[in-house]
Structure 1
Amino acid sequence: MNEMKPHILVVDGMALLFRSFFATAHSGQFFPNANNVPTNGVQGFARHTMSAISIFQPTHLAVCWDMGSKTFRNELFADYKAHRPAPAPELVPQFDMAREVSEALGWKSYGIPNMEADDLIGSLIKTWNGKARLTVVSGDKDLLQLLKPDVSIALTKKGYTQYEEYNADRFIEEYGITPAQFVDMKAFTGDSSDGYPGVKGIGPKTALKLIQQYGSVDGVLAAKEELAAGVRKKIEADEEMLMLSRELAEIHCELTLDDPLAHLEIPEFTEETAKRMEQQGYSLIARQGFPVSPF
């Protein structure tokens, strides 16, 4: 019975940190602390997570982090995310601060060197599959491949409170393929934001048709002789990149993240917590968690 299962909110800490940083940085609002270190991204991340807790009403929480810009995918493909600009100097100190604040608030945090936050999210879903209901909060559509009957993905839409929420049925209806096939689709189309090309000359429409007809990259390759000459030629010219793109697109779900559920409990935000946040220069977090007067 679904309602008896624990409900784990899994937060893509990196996505919320970046989003919060850019929401205020463009107007020059960095909210420096007593040491003149910017805190806008950190405070925004924490407030966003607190809002998500009140919206989705989870029983438990896990926050996932990237640990540095290089991962095993850079070893597979040197250009992976290589074209992305370096983070703004005002954001750099906030990576460690955000993880520290997350832990100071008693939120269970996960970060493993060489792995992306996506891989931690995927591994948590695999760990708790069947034992808990999971809601993932992120801005990253790549995570849609992880949808399952008890998993929903809430993509950030506007401000702290608006989300585009996907379950497996909505995904199938909108995309015309299963969540697992999303990886095969991206193998053909590539991903310009992650910097891998897929198969040159094959766009989303052709990719979708191929996946709907043959089920997967392997299915398409096995039926190569049936394909239109032009499509076959493009695939043959880029077959190695097709296989590599599939490997880059797939979220790695094999990490061991088997902490007892009690470690993921959400502690109450007390007056004491608010005081501690205030002392550390995080007055916006203090106010959101323990408002002095109604907003």
Structure 2
Amino acid sequence: MTNKHLMLVDGMALLFRSFYATAVNNYFMINSKGTPTNALFGFVKHLFAAKDQFNPTHIICCWDMEGPTHRAKLFPDYKANRSEAPIELLPQFSLVKELVSSLDIPNVGIKGYEADDCIGTIVDELSNDTKITVVTGDKDLLQIINHNTSVAILKKGIGNYDVFTVDKFVEDYGIFPSQFSDVKALMGDSSDNYPGVMGIGEKTALKLIKEFNSIDGLLENLDKLTKGQKTKIEKDLKSLELSRVLAKIHNQVPIEYNLEHSELKIDKNKALTMFEELEFKGLDKIIS
């Protein structure tokens, strides 16, 4: 085990959280160039709050990319219920990556996959000998927790997190993190718009996985279920198998990154130049 501590940032989670925290009051921080910067400003504050709290030695920021993902190719309705991004957010998508680069933090993403998959791949490759903290708003990432990897779920406000280790996850859910994707497959996900098994919610899904350990174990023991549970699962077997693939984070994504290039070495002058270009006020103290 090295002394390295990698913080993996779910970039879109921070960006969207920052945007909607102020957009509800139509506060978009439009600068003299006509560019909204509210999401960017909040992103910086979230990023530095996480850096100060978790004290990483290295940081990588992972992103969803434009275009269909492998999940959408399997299930065209995947995330199809989500509305288009607000017009004020659109120019901030590209600018946020420039902002991250100005902090000498690598941006990682690959078309066809989600940030979750990139994060899962890095965790799979590095967590044997590197401490990792994942900062996100997405509970799907709880499935990648291991003894060297914790997941910090963003809470309301800046600098507030629900930090899940293996022990906390087991205490809260009664199963192991690696079993969580099977729970999600059974219950479905209205946010990601995949169905699961109609009529089975989180409470029942957790109970079934606790009892039978996995969907495979469950399917081998259908006769032990109540009549209602058995009927629901048999009726939605195809949906369950599809949801199982959609719920599972893909941890073999062909991404390119270099841990050594992610060492935390922020050039204050370079960062301040970017802040000045964006016309940010009051952020110079957070990088001093």
SS state of the match for residue 70, structure 1?
coil
Aligned twin of 2:191: 193
Instruction: Select 1:62's aligned residue among 60, 70, 73.
Output: 60
8 Å CA contact retained: 1:127, 1:258: no
How big is each residue's C-alpha offset from its partner over 1:134-166, in whole Å with a ceiling of 9 and x where there is no partner? 001111111100100001111111221111111
Shift in Å, 1:274: 1.2
Does the alignment pair 1:273 with 2:278? no
8 Å CA contact retained: 1:278, 1:286: no
Does the alignment pair 1:101 with 2:99? yes
Q: Distance between the aligned counterparts of 2:25 and 2:128, measured in 1?
A: 45
Q: Distance between the aligned counterparts of 1:258 and 1:279, measured in 2?
A: 29
Shift in Å, 1:229: 2.1
CA RMSD of aligned residues (A): 1.6
How big is each residue's C-alpha offset from its partner over 1:95-146, in whole Å with a ceiling of 9 and x where there is no partner? 1111111112211110111111111110110111212100011111111001
Q: Distance between the aligned counterparts of 2:40 and 2:93, measured in 1?
A: 8
Aligned twin of 2:122: 124
Instruction: Select 1:182's aligned residue among 144, 167, 180.
Output: 180
Shift in Å, 1:257: 4.2
Shift in Å, 1:172: 0.6
Aligned twin of 1:36: 34
- What TM-score do you get using the length of structure 2 for normalisation? 0.95
Aligned twin of 2:81: 83
Does the alignment pair 1:136 with 2:129? no
Percent of aligned positions with the same letter in both sequences? Answer: 44
Shift in Å, 1:280: 3.8
Does the alignment pair 1:227 with 2:234? no
The letter of the residue matching 1:72 is H
Aligned twin of 1:12: 10
8 Å CA contact retained: 2:109, 2:255: no
Q: Distance between the aligned counterparts of 2:187 and 2:40, measured in 1?
A: 34
Tell me how many residue pairs correspond in the alignment.
Answer: 288
Q: Distance between the aligned counterparts of 1:200 and 1:176, measured in 2?
A: 23
Structure 2: any 5+ residue segments left out of the alignment? none
Q: Distance between the aligned counterparts of 2:188 and 2:16, measured in 1?
A: 23
Q: Distance between the aligned counterparts of 1:196 and 1:257, measured in 2?
A: 26
8 Å CA contact retained: 1:10, 1:135: yes
Deviates more, 1:269-278 or 1:235-244: 269-278
SS state of the match for residue 93, structure 1?
helix
Aligned twin of 1:244: 242
- What TM-score do you get using the length of structure 1 for normalisation? 0.93
Aligned twin of 1:293: none
The letter of the residue matching 1:16 is L
Q: Distance between the aligned counterparts of 2:234 and 2:80, measured in 1?
A: 26
8 Å CA contact retained: 2:65, 2:113: yes
8 Å CA contact retained: 1:269, 1:289: no
8 Å CA contact retained: 1:275, 1:286: no
Structure 1: any 5+ residue segments left out of the alignment? 291-295
Instruction: Select 2:204's aligned residue among 206, 209, 232.
Output: 206
The letter of the residue matching 2:151 is I
How big is each residue's C-alpha offset from its partner over 1:43-97, in whole Å with a ceiling of 9 and x where there is no partner? 2112211111111110000000111263111111111110111111000111111
Instruction: Select 2:70's aligned residue among 69, 72, 79.
Output: 72
Change (3 A) 1:212 1:273: closer
Shift in Å, 1:175: 0.3
Q: Distance between the aligned counterparts of 1:128 and 1:114, measured in 2?
A: 22
How big is each residue's C-alpha offset from its partner over 1:216-275, in whole Å with a ceiling of 9 and x where there is no partner? 111111112332222111111000000111111001100244633221111234244313
How big is each residue's C-alpha offset from its partner over 1:147-192, in whole Å with a ceiling of 9 and x where there is no partner? 0000111111122111111101100111011111111111111011
